[in-house]
């Protein structure tokens, strides 16, 4: 028995979704199979506009190298027409991936009026061809397995949607992030919790450029990597190949920047090798924030993120149907702050996520031994971080968080915690 993961991305054009029954036929060098009535078990209303649906399927035999697929629907239900963005099939045993760019209507009243499309892969990423039967097979989620995944992608022939960024830069940056993900110092696993007050040694590679106010995209990028490094690599490589971040098509004017040296000079990440990976992801997500203040200064993106946009971006990235918000009114008293804290702990205990919008000046002051600046001074003072762990006592709260490419531990009184807080977005991944 061989299992496959099918990721189907519905387009974001008007009326793109469908309630019809979707099927997919895959034809490989060893065998062919048709999977009917595809359904995402985590989405009760799948294949709607902008959805990213993931479905696990099985075949009694390994299909071999998939040469073409046919995907379509039975045209049942009102407005059955479907605008399909792309399809990706992954052999979960070998890690081999087949990516199909579609970007067309599958509808009886659109385009060629066919209810299916047949196509060959746009790109193929090799996997561990030895399969699980080999005693020396590499665990695809281990450090060696992830490095091999990156090497296979780098060596394979793929599209390039970012003419200003060499493919090698993305591969090297991803390898460095993987290295930091597995690195342990002082009994400390970098992407999880902070067991000390020092932050200098705790770099994650998920950094933002000097002078760029894009902490929201940085937070989203860090948590996506923490959630699953293999999936994070898939997102980054797909973004590089097709200029598509999940369901969002990045504008060409951003993808064709050629001043790569300037990116490294202005986007000073630590380690420096990750600059292009961070720039590509964060600039793409920041550009999506249509209501934010966006401007190009010397061909670089500067964004001032407002809290109101963050929940939409979280939904966009993780395909979340609902989130819990804790806006400014929820922090008006210490009692409310303690209630919010209990909700944080509940979400974290259930493998959920907390994005915290705090006052950046307060965090900087705490780093410098001061904590005297909590006034609500406006958008420029607000700063998104990812909360990794919360510990509380009768009179104080300790928070481990990711910010500015590093991890920090802060301990403050409940009143200070209340003053530092502006907003929070909680969701279950």
**pLDDT tens sequence across 313-362:** 787 777 676 788 898 889 999 999 999 999 999 999 888 889 999 887 77
> Could you tell me which residues come within 8 angstroms of residue 142 by beta carbon, excluding any fewer than 6 positions away?
none
Kindly report, as residue ranges, where domains of CATH 2.60.60.20 are found in the chain.
2-136
Kindly report, as residue ranges, where domains of CATH 3.90.70 are found in the chain.
318-428
Residues 131-147: what's their mean pLDDT?
69
Higher pLDDT, 130 or 208: 208
> Could you tell me which residues come within 8 angstroms of residue 298 by beta carbon, excluding any fewer than 6 positions away?
262, 266
The answer to whether the beta carbons of residues 304 and 319 sit under 8 Å apart is no
The pLDDT-based confidence of 262 (bands split at 50, 70, 90) is low
Higher pLDDT, 192 or 303: 303
Taking residue 365's Cβ as centre, other Cβ atoms within 10 Å add up to 16
Instruction: In whole angstroms, give the CA distance from residue 40 to residue 111.
Output: 27
Q: What is the pLDDT of residues 3-57, one digit of tens each?
A: 999 999 898 888 999 999 999 999 999 999 999 999 988 788 899 988 888 899 9
Residues 278-295: what's their mean pLDDT?
73
- Averaged pLDDT of the chain: 82
CATH class of the domain comprising 318-428: alpha beta
Residue 136 confidence (pLDDT):
52
Instruction: In whole angstroms, give the CA distance from residue 292 to residue 303.
Output: 7
Q: What is the pLDDT of residues 171-181, one digit of tens each?
A: 999 999 999 88
Tokens of 253: 């004017």
Residue 135 confidence (pLDDT):
45
Architecture of domain 2-136: Sandwich (2.60)
Asked if the model's pLDDT at residue 196 lies above 60, the reply is no
Higher pLDDT, 88 or 12: 88
Instruction: In whole angstroms, give the CA distance from residue 412 to residue 396.
Output: 6
Burial of 306 (0-12, 13-18, 19+ CB in 10 A): middle
Q: What is the DSSP letter of 331?
A: G
Asked if the model's pLDDT at residue 132 lies above 50, the reply is no
Instruction: In whole angstroms, give the CA distance from residue 110 to residue 83.
Output: 10
ω into 271 cis (within 30 of 0)? yes
- Crossing angle for the helix pair 167-182 and 275-288, to the nearest 10 degrees: 100
Instruction: In whole angstroms, give the CA distance from residue 260 to residue 163.
Output: 10
Indicate the pTM of the whole model.
0.75
Phi/psi of residue 24, nearest 5 degrees: -145, 130
Strands laid side by side in the 82-91 sheet: 52-59, 2-10, 82-91, 97-106, 123-125
Residue burial 49-71, b: 16+ Cβ < 10 Å; e: rest: ebbbbbbebebeebbeebeebeb
Instruction: In whole angstroms, give the CA distance from residue 62 to residue 14.
Output: 38
């Amino acid at each position: 028995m061989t299992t496959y993961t099918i990721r189907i991305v519905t387009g974001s054009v008007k009326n793109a979704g469908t309630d019809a029954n979707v099927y997919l036929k895959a034809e490989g060098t060893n065998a062919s199979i048709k999977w009917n009535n595809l359904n995402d078990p985590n989405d009760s209303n799948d294949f709607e506009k902008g959805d990213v649906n993931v479905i696990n399927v099985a075949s009694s035999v390994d299909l071999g190298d998939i040469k073409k697929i046919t995907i379509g629907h039975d045209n049942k239900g009102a407005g059955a027409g479907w605008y399909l963005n792309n399809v990706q099939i992954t052999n979960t045993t070998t890690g081999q991936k087949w990516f199909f760019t579609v970007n067309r209507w599958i509808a009886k009243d659109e385009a060629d009026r066919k209810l299916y499309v047949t196509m060959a892969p746009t790109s193929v990423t090799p996997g561990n061809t030895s399969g699980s039967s080999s005693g020396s097979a590499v665990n695809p989620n281990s450090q060696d397995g992830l490095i091999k995944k990156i090497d296979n992608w780098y060596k394979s022939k793929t599209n390039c949607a970012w003419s200003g960024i060499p493919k090698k830069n993305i591969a090297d940056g991803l390898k460095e992030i993987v290295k930091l993900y597995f690195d342990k110092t002082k009994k400390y696993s970098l992407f999880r919790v902070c067991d000390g007050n020092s932050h200098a040694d705790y770099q994650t590679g998920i950094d933002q450029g000097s002078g760029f106010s894009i902490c929201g995209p940085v937070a989203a990028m860090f948590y996506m990597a923490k959630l699953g490094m293999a999936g994070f690599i898939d997102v980054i490589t797909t973004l590089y190949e097709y200029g598509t971040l999940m369901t969002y098509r990045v504008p060409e004017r951003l993808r064709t920047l050629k001043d790569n040296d300037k990116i490294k000079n202005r986007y000073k990440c630590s380690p420096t090798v990750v600059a292009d990976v961070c720039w590509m992801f964060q600039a793409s997500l920041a550009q999506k924030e249509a209501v934010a203040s966006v401007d190009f200064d010397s061909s670089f993106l500067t964004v001032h993120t407002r809290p109101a946009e963050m929940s939409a971006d979280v939904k966009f990235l993780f395909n979340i149907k609902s989130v819990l918000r804790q806006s400014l009114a929820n922090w008006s008293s210490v009692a409310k702050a303690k209630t919010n804290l209990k909700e944080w702990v509940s979400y974290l205990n259930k493998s959920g996520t907390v994005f915290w919008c705090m006052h950046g000046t307060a965090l900087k002051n705490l780093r410098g031994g001061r904590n005297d600046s909590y006034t609500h001074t406006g958008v420029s003072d607000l700063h998104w971080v990812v909360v990794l762990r919360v510990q509380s006592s009768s009179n104080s709260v300790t928070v481990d968080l990711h910010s500015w490419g590093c991890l920090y531990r802060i301990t403050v009184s409940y009143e200070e915690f209340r003053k530092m807080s502006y907003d929070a977005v909680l969701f279950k991944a």
